[in-house]
Structure 1
Amino acid sequence: MKRPSPADIVLRLALGLAMLTPWIARAENDYSVAERALFMENQIGKLKPPLTLHYVFRKTGTLEEAFDDKVDLVLTAQADGACCAVRPQFFTGARAVRQPEVESAQGNPAILYFLERDIREMQRLTKGQPNYFRKRIRMAVYQGATLRDVSLEYRGKPVDVREFSITPYVDDPMRPRYEKLANKAYVFMMSDAVPGGLYGIRTRIQGESIEAQPLMVEEMYVEGAAEAVRRRQP
């Protein structure tokens, strides 16, 4: 059996794959395009340390108070000089979220940090179990992600971006219990033209009607993403 890479080990720990036995047993060539793009590409290992990746975060919507904050990934060289060990700073002050350091990153852990906080927020809102939410997201990335290629602006110039969209709870058998989240949509934006490969992530929970304001929108974008992009709908 092929030994898992450090990135795969981190992924399994963070998203609870140890509890999803059928998925662990899948052959390497059975990973979806979305899984490979989000979790398995060498987005960090090709960078030149030391450096810090900066992301801006915004929460809006009618459900709770809005706020803006930031997420930083501090990258340093490993003992052999290769990139990179990652030390996260997820939010600031009293809002800061403790996230694990990664000793040998390849895939961008900012994606996993965003998802782990998102899962904790869903647990807070619904009293549901984190492993169940992890499973729904993971299954949606594997089975139901839609892809479209778009051109977005980064530091004043257009860049090619792959958008992967999922709706993990639309066909959820537990939907009546988590109805508040049923229409929640996730959009992951990946681009080779930005450092770390992650252009941004956006989630949206729509209100009771199409005309209603969204209950919650949470967005995290690489520093330098166009302000107009940050404000558009999923």
Structure 2
Amino acid sequence: MMKTRFAVILFCMLLSCFGQAYAVPGYSEINNALFDKSHLKNINESAKLTYKYQKTSYTEGNREDTIVMSVDNIRNTGRRDTQFEFFTGKHNRPYQAMNDQRGNPIFVYFLEFDVHEMDRLTGGEWRYFQRKLRWAMAAGADKKQVEIDYQGKKVEATQYTIQPYVDDPKNGRYKLYAGKYYIFTLSEAVPGEIYQIRTVVPDGLTWDGEQVPLIDETVTLFDYRPEH
């Protein structure tokens, strides 16, 4: 019970810390795309969305897992109720069901996981990395149009990329992760609109997409299954 209460409190804190609940003139495009859009409006029936988690790491080895988001209580306003099974077994993170949602919470939960991983891996403080992410999003992201393969079809998507730590004068304290990239791929053609969240730790401060990263983590929409 304490875990679920903590998860609710943490979720609310994350929403206020990572971004704003509604778009405000002057806010960056990535903030508005992640925090203001009604991602769930294209889900018009109760369904389960399965996201595949994949991690390759030269420091800790590889891991695969799943994240399942259940969506139900479909409303004409575009709001839905969501429930998560975020990882399985010993890696499961307890999150309570969240009702009356417009946006897809998958990226908020992943960023919560990510900053605590940064805390664990660097001996730093998760709130510090959270602030860096928030400021990087406020400053704006590199944006490009891409084509993704979803269920055997090519569909158009928008990709936003930030490097929240690269200009941090204190990044010598966590040098291995100073160049870390966060890449968000969104498409209105996929259920829930958030297709993939990816983080890449390059061997250096830059990555051109060709070199093998030191650490590569992805959360990718893998399956959409209506519940009849």
Fold match (TM-score > 0.5): yes
Alignment partner, residue 219 of structure 2: 220
Higher relative contact order (CA 8 A, sep 6+): 2
* Deviant stretches of 4+, over 3 Å: 9-12, 78-83, 208-213
Using the TM superposition, give the Cα deviation of residue 190 of structure 1 relative to its aligned residue in structure 2, in angstroms.
0.3
Relative to the length of structure 2, the TM-score reads 0.83
Distance 1:46 1:133 in 2: 32
Alignment partner, residue 145 of structure 2: 149
Bigger drift between 216-225 and 110-119 goes to 216-225
1:122-153 Cα deviation digits (max 9, x unpaired) = 00011221221111111111214100001111
Count of aligned pairs between the two proteins: 212
Q: Is 1:35–2:31 an aligned residue pair? A: yes
* 27 and 221 in structure 1: CA distance in 2 versus 1, 3 angstrom threshold: closer
Whether the 8 Å CA contact 2:182–2:198 is kept in 1: the answer is yes
Whether the 8 Å CA contact 1:85–1:105 is kept in 2: the answer is yes
What are structure 2's unaligned runs of at least 5 residues?
Answer: 1-8
Considering only aligned residues, what root-mean-square deviation do their CA atoms show, in Å?
2.9
The structure 1 residue matched to 2:107, chosen from 91, 108, 111, is 111
Q: Quick one: which amino acid aligns to residue 13 of structure 2? A: L
Using the TM superposition, give the Cα deviation of residue 45 of structure 1 relative to its aligned residue in structure 2, in angstroms.
3.9
Whether the 8 Å CA contact 1:16–1:131 is kept in 2: the answer is no
Q: Is 1:13–2:13 an aligned residue pair? A: yes
Relative to the length of structure 1, the TM-score reads 0.81
Whether the 8 Å CA contact 2:104–2:192 is kept in 1: the answer is yes
Whether the 8 Å CA contact 2:28–2:140 is kept in 1: the answer is no
Alignment partner, residue 116 of structure 2: 120
* 16 and 130 in structure 1: CA distance in 2 versus 1, 3 angstrom threshold: farther
Whether the 8 Å CA contact 1:50–1:77 is kept in 2: the answer is yes
What are structure 1's unaligned runs of at least 5 residues?
Answer: 1-8, 226-234
Alignment partner, residue 4 of structure 2: none
Alignment partner, residue 3 of structure 2: none
Q: Superposition pairs for residues 43-192 of structure 1, below 5 Å?
A: 43-77=39-73, 83-192=79-188
